[in-house]
Copies of this chain bind each other. A is one copy, B any other.
C-alpha cells in the first residue's frame, strides 16, 4: 500500500489561525477491508467552515479532533476497490480530508459518490457543482425565495458560493449585486460572472458609507441577501432592505477569531419585517439532487464558468487556507495533490 502524506490539526488557534496549528506526517495506508475502496485525491477543497472546526467551543459541528487528519472535501480516482460497485479509475467525490489517499467504506451514507466528467471538470464537483454550489442554491431558493425582478445581494461575491449564487439568481430574473474586496474581484464579478453590479467594501470605512454605495447599486432596495461574512457588510445591507426582505446567513467569517461582531441595528428586523435565517447545507441533503442538477446544467452549458484558485501540493494547504480566510483567493480555493 502507498505511503500517505497527511495534514493533522496539531493544536488550536489562540486567536488568528497560523501555519503552526498544522502538522504534516507520512503514514502507510492500511490494507483494504471488504467493502472499502482506496481513493487517490486529485484536489482538496478549502472552505471557510474549516476555521470554525478548529476551535474547541460549541458550534454547529463537532470540533476537529486534535492529532487527526483535517476534515475536507476531495475529488479523486479509485485506485483499488473491494466493493462491487467501484472499480479502479472511477472518478469520485467525497470527504477524504487533507491527505493524498483515503480509505473509504463505500456504502457509508454520504461517504463517496461517482461523478461524470464528460461535461463538468472533476474539480468543479468541489465548487460550483458541489457543496458551495448547493449552499448558494439552498440559501437563494429555500430561504430567499426570490421573484423575478427582485434585487438580491451577496457578500464574498467572487468566491465559490457567491459566484454560484449570482448564476442562480440571474437564471431567475433577479437583479444581482455583489459585494467583494478589491477592484479586480469586483471587475471579475461583473464582467466574467455577469452580476449587475459589484461594490468593493474595502473602499468604505463604515457601514454608512457602504450603505450609500448599495443605495446606488440597488435603486429599488434589497429584497434578498446571502451573508457569507457578517459585520459591517451585513449592517450596511440591512439599512437598504425592503419590507419583507429575507437574509440567508451562511457565514460569519469575520467572527471566527473570537472578536466580537455585533449586529448594529437589529431593530431593522422589526422595522422592515425581515426574516434572518441561518442554515447549514449538510442538514438539507434532500435538496442536493435538484440543486446539483441545475448547477451541472449551468456549468455544462457554459452559462456559468466558475473560476478556481489552485495551490500546488498538499504541503501548501495550510498557507492556502489562511489566505482564503483573508480573501486572497479568487473563486473556489483548491489544492492540487
Give the contacting residue for A260; candidates B250, B264, B276, B283; CB below 8 A. B264
Provided the pairs A243-B60, A262-B262, A273-B60 are in contact, do residues A267 and B252 lie with their beta carbons within 8 angstroms? yes
Contacts of A58 in B (CB 8 A): 271
- Is B283 within 8 A of A278, CB to CB? no
Measured between beta carbons, the chain B residues less than 8 angstroms from A269 are: 249, 276-278
A266 touches B252 (CB 8 A): yes
Copies in the complex: 2
Q: How far is the CB of A57 from chain B (nearest CB, A)?
A: 9
Does A251 have its Cβ within 8 Å of any Cβ on chain B?
yes
**A interface list, Cβ under 8 A from B:** 58-60, 230, 234, 243, 249-252, 255, 260-267, 269-280, 283
CB pair A267–B255 under 8 Å, yes or no, is yes
Q: Are B271 and A59 in contact (CB under 8 A)?
A: yes
Contact of A266 among B262, B267, B271, B283 (CB under 8 A): B262
B275 A60 Cβ-Cβ under 8 A: no
Instruction: List 9 additional contacts besides A260-B265, A270-B280; criterion CB under 8 Å.
Output: A59-B271, A60-B271, A60-B273, A250-B270, A255-B267, A261-B267, A262-B264, A273-B277, A275-B275
> Can you list 12 A-B pairs with a CB-CB distance of less than 8 A?
A60-B243, A60-B273, A230-B267, A250-B270, A252-B266, A255-B267, A261-B265, A263-B266, A266-B266, A272-B278, A274-B277, A275-B276
A58-B271, A273-B60, A283-B273 known; A234 and B266 CB under 8 Å?
yes
Interface centre among A230, A269, A272, A275 (most CB of B within 10 A): A269
How far apart are the CA atoms of A211 and B251 in the complex, in Å?
A: 25
Interface centre among A234, A264, A278 (most CB of B within 10 A): A278
Instruction: Using CB atoms, name the residue of chain B closest to A255.
Output: B267
